Amino acid sequence: MVTFPNCKINLGLHITVKRPDGFHELETVFYPVPLKDILEVVSSTTLQFQSTGIDIPGNPASNLCLKAYHLLKEDFPQLPPVQMHLHKIIPMGAGLGGGSADGAFALQLLNDKYFLGLSPTQLMKYALQLGSDCPFFILNQPCYATGRGEDLTPIKLDLSGYRFVIVHPGIHINTKWAFEQIQPGLPARSIKEIIQLPIQDWKYYLSNDFESPIKQNYPAIEAIKLALYKDGAIYASMSGSGSTVFGIYPTNANIELNKQLNYRIDII
């Protein structure tokens, strides 16, 4: 059985509170975007995992797809050994949630393939054990997110009439460092309210708290954002803690960004 984990972008991101446990409260809107990995699971005599496409650093045993399998195996001992093949297309460490998507989609695929009977609510509880972003990919629809990103409220937001341009400059931004640059605080206006404005107004009000400190240390981020606007984007922003920058364009836009930037560019 094959599934296609998609990525997400953050439409606005505010860090509101630093909690006593060291984690941060945030508010953002997660929006699913059809830039996808490919995950295949087949029954096997032994548990195996392999990956192709973009190289995945680190120990394969720590991959969220395998962690998803082990989570379910604890409660469903009848789950047979499987062979997992992940073809990685979504850039990693880029603010797109690709690893979280892979883990969440693995849960769903195993649930469907082996008739475990888990509801979306139950799958979301398993997904939260994999990471704060993972439950979103069970719902996989536009959501206003608070808490650490796990408190999700679906919202009405349809951007299907637009095109997305995703630019990944290949810069690795340490997430811990990025959070250390932020002074948490309640925004004057909630993202939940701002997102209801016409998309043409988002560039004036919809912001990502990480952008300011990150562009000071990584000028390429600001350069990409300016290039997107110059190229005709209606709205452009960094996603998450970076380093991906995305632009939202009219459907009929003549996108020529690849003539200006020597980075990986996905047009969707």
The span from the first CA to the last CA of the chain, in angstroms, equals 25
Q: Which of 133, 209, 231, 266 is catalytic?
A: 133
Altogether, the residues listed in the chain come to a count of 268
Among residues 225, 230, 209, which one has the least CA distance to residue 16?
209
For residue 239, the tally of other CB atoms under 10 A from its CB is: 27
Clarify whether 133 is annotated catalytic.
Answer: yes
- CA dihedral sign of residues 148, 169, 91, 144: positive
Among residues 159, 124, 156, 143, which one has the least CA distance to residue 246?
159
Looking at residue 199, the DSSP 8-state letter turns out to be G
Among residues 40, 27, 56, which one has the least CA distance to residue 191?
27
Q: Which of 8, 67, 88, 215 is catalytic?
A: 8
Taking the C-alpha atoms of residue 149 and residue 126, their distance in angstroms, rounded to an integer, is 15
Taking the C-alpha atoms of residue 24 and residue 204, their distance in angstroms, rounded to an integer, is 25
Clarify whether 18 is annotated catalytic.
Answer: no
Q: Kindly list the catalytic residues.
A: 8, 133
